């Protein structure tokens, strides 16, 4: 077997954490199941560099984590929370299926364009489609009078997404309180109190029970070739129904749907 180094090292082995020299480590040929690299034990990926830490020149490239963001149809009644980001009030859609909190590029400008860096994670929708993130920044967040620091992501311009995700919900302990206590149900379209009676009086032609008639354009049907009219006798109607049929034909004639020939 290989010759063991004499004595005990002053610091643990960076490949496995054992009190021996790295040259004597049993994990030199081991392939890590976490990162797929050879030469260290699981859990020591960031410690292992293939040479002593004092001579390490460049750090290993970090892999961005992938976060899931569920995109819902806002047209149906959704829940929104009143939040302050850096003392600027904003309204975020509460989404317990989203791993992260995201605001639009326009909202980032609204709160004063706080200094932001490149995103530390990638985002995908619930269906697996990539979701563009422009940046992220740390900010002061206030919900229900409680203020904490939170990491906020900014979507690329053109993506209209502003959600309060589970990261902030965990940070503020919102799982332990009724959702109605910190958010309200709103619709995508503003609600207006309309007087239906006034509308019916103003647009009588729209609200009439008569069949509508298009007067803006004329419809022309073009027949193929040189067709000839074909005579078809009327359908036989039971004697007891003749009155109802005649009444309906007269009604359609009166409103211009049918024309006698």
| Closest alpha carbon to 104 in 86, 115, 124, 90 | 90
88/51 same-domain check = no
169/136 same-domain check = yes
Domain count of the fold of the chain = 2
Contact 16, 32 (CB under 8 A): no
Residue 247 lies in a domain: no
> From the first residue on, what is the mean pLDDT of each consecutive set of 10 residues in the chain (261 residues)?
60 75 82 78 61 43 57 55 91 85 92 92 80 92 90 91 88 76 49 62 78 78 85 83 88 84 77
Q: Residues of 35-61 as b/e, b for ≥16 C-beta within 10 angstroms?
A: eeeebbbeebeeebbeeeeeeeeeeee
Q: Which domain holds residue 20?
A: 8-55
Residue 29 lies in a domain: yes
CA distances from 5 to 13, 16, 27, 28, 183 (A): 13, 17, 16, 15, 65
Sign of CA pseudo-dihedral 17, 19, 20, 21: positive
29/128 same-domain check = no
Residue 205 lies in a domain: no
CA distances from 220 to 35, 48, 190, 217, 224 (A): 71, 80, 41, 10, 13
For residues 91 and 78, give the distance between their C-alpha atoms in angstroms, rounded to a whole number.
12
Q: By CB neighbour count within 10 A (0-12 exposed, 13-18 middle, 19+ buried), where does 227 fall?
A: exposed
pLDDT score, position 102: 92
50/72 same-domain check = no
pLDDT score, position 209: 73
71/143 same-domain check = yes
75/12 same-domain check = no
Residue 62 lies in a domain: no
pLDDT score, position 192: 46
pLDDT score, position 28: 82
Residue 98 lies in a domain: yes
27/88 same-domain check = no
160/101 same-domain check = yes
Q: Which residues contact 167 (CB under 8 A, 6 or more apart)?
A: 99, 100, 101, 150, 151
CATH of the domain at 178: 2.40.70.10
155/85 same-domain check = yes
Residue 212 lies in a domain: no
46/90 same-domain check = no
Residue 132 lies in a domain: yes
For residues 134 and 153, give the distance between their C-alpha atoms in angstroms, rounded to a whole number.
8
């Amino acid at each position: 077997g290989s010759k063991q180094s004499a004595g005990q090292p002053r610091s643990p082995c960076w490949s496995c954490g054992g009190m021996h020299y790295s040259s004597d480590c049993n994990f030199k040929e081991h392939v890590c199941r976490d990162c797929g690299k050879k030469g260290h034990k699981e859990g020591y990926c960031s410690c292992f560099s293939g040479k002593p830490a004092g001579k390490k020149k460049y750090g290993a490239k970090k892999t961005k984590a992938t976060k899931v963001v569920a995109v819902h149809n806002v047209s149906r009644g959704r829940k929104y929370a009143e939040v302050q980001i850096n003392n600027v009030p904003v309204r975020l859609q509460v989404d317990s299926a989203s791993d992260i909190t995201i605001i639009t590029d326009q909202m980032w400008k609204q709160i004063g364009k706080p200094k932001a860096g490149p995103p530390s994670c990638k985002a995908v929708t619930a269906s697996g489609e990539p979701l563009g993130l422009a940046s992220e920044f740390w900010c002061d967040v206030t919900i229900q009078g409680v203020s904490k620091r939170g990491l906020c992501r900014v979507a690329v311009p053109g993506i209209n997404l502003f959600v309060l995700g589970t990261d902030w919900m965990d940070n503020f302990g919102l799982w332990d309180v009724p959702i109605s206590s910190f958010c309200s149900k709103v619709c995508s379209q503003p609600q207006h109190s309309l007087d239906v009676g006034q509308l019916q009086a103003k647009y009588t032609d729209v609200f009439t029970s008569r069949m509508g008639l298009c007067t803006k354009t004329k419809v022309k049907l073009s027949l193929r070739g040189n067709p000839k009219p074909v005579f078809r006798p009327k359908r036989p109607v039971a004697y007891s129904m003749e009155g109802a049929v005649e009444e309906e034909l007269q009604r359609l004639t009166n409103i211009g749907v049918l024309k006698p020939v």
